[in-house]
Amino acid sequence: MAGRQLRLAGTNPAVRPAVIRLPYNAVRISLDSALGLEDRRTMGAARSWQTRLKQGLQAHWRRRRMAVFAEAIRAAPAASVIDIGGLPELWRLVPRRPKVTLLNLPGSFDQLTEEQRSGFDFIEGSIFEHAEVTVNFDIAFSNSVLEHIGPSDKQSRFAQIVSKAPAYWIQVPSPSFPIEQHCHAALWWQRGDRLREKAMRRWCIRGDEVSARFMRDTRPIYRSTLARLFPDANIASERVCGFEKSLYAFRALDAS
């Protein structure tokens, strides 16, 4: 069976597309899980297998994404990066990573070991509490954060802060992808508000109030939203099996 492709296609012709082959069975097992079609007798084993597969695919995708990021932004190892809402794990996938400072909410770094902290600087707090910090770095970076910022006025404020940096790279999961990438529910953003709320009430009945609260605070970010928030950005998309999986807004460092 032919593989499926992940493709990054942007408005900047200088950025080469990244292509990843994804086995058909990997896609099918994920869809079956999201749609509730697993055989209950094998559900435990399947989930264990799917967890390992998912972790492996995520690492593979992230490694390729970070390579595209470095090329698109022209991020040399000497560049300084402020990662808004990030942790060290993602940057360890970059062979020649720049100098990275991680900004995240209080407590986010408490469980990191000395080894995990090595090579990074840390700032605790909200980006809104450190609104001028981005001017001190070459690149402002954000991976799957904007959808959790809050309503449109906060999103606009976030974009203003990010845009103070000479270059930036903002990634968000695409709401067009058939599997919601936080709660893994099928066609989540294609449902109406009432159906989503009904699903979240069921989660609460099962004792999963955390997931319900998390998804109530998550807002879908569409291509048009990124274009409005970052009018000077290149907008790019990453595709899996023909579906738009992620969106990026980026402005490269000045080549001069």
Q: What is the mean pLDDT of residues 66-73?
A: 87
Question: Residue 108 class from Cβ within 10 Å (0-12 exposed, 13-18 middle, 19+ buried)?
Answer: middle
Q: Is the pLDDT of residue 154 over 60?
A: yes
Q: Is the pLDDT of residue 41 over 60?
A: no
At 227-238, the pLDDT tens digits run 999 999 999 999
Q: Is the pLDDT of residue 6 over 80?
A: no
| Pair type for strands 99-104 and 80-84 | parallel
List the structure tokens of 53: 């597969």
Close Cβ partners of 161 (under 8 Å, ≥ 6 residues apart): 127, 128, 131, 134, 140
Q: Could you state, in order of their start, the residue ranges of all structural domains in the chain?
A: 4-182+218-251
CATH number attached to the domain at 4-182+218-251: 3.40.50.150
CA-CA distance, 228 to 5, in Å (whole number)?
29
DSSP-derived letter for residue 165 is: S
Tell me what percent of the residues of the chain surpass a pLDDT of 70: 79
Predicted pLDDT of residue 128: 97
Q: What is the pTM of this model?
A: 0.77
